[in-house]
Amino acid sequence: MSKLKLRPLEDEAPVKMTLDVPPATYRNLMAYAQAHAAQTGGKVAEPVRLVVPMLDQFMASDRVFTRGRKGRAD
């Protein structure tokens, strides 16, 4: 398998959010968590821990979004 885009997971204090996903998305997150653990040599993360890094990666790779945020504070 090619290298996954998701970086190793950081241990940070989270902000609580509730998210409902379809069962197929959950199964895909589980499969991704297993592939990520195999690639990084870590343990399989809870799928919920993958959501934020995946969203961050997605937003960072969206050129229109990043162009629109240039010059603006977070």
pLDDT for residue 1? 62
Residue 9: its pLDDT value, please?
Answer: 77
CA 29, CA 31: separation in Å to the nearest integer?
A: 5
Question: Can you give the pLDDT at residue 2?
Answer: 76
Instruction: Give me the pLDDT at residue 6, please.
Output: 75
Which segments in the chain show pLDDT lower than 70?
Answer: 1, 71-74
The domain locations on the chain are 36-63
* Nearest one of 1, 16, 2, 3 to 51, comparing CA atoms: 16
Sign (positive or negative) of CA dihedral 42, 2, 52, 25: negative
Quick one: pLDDT at residue 45?
87
pLDDT tens by residue, 18-33: 889 999 999 999 999 9
Q: For the CA atoms of 74, 60, 25, 31, what is the dihedral angle to 10 degrees?
A: -120
CB 7 within 8 A of CB 55: no
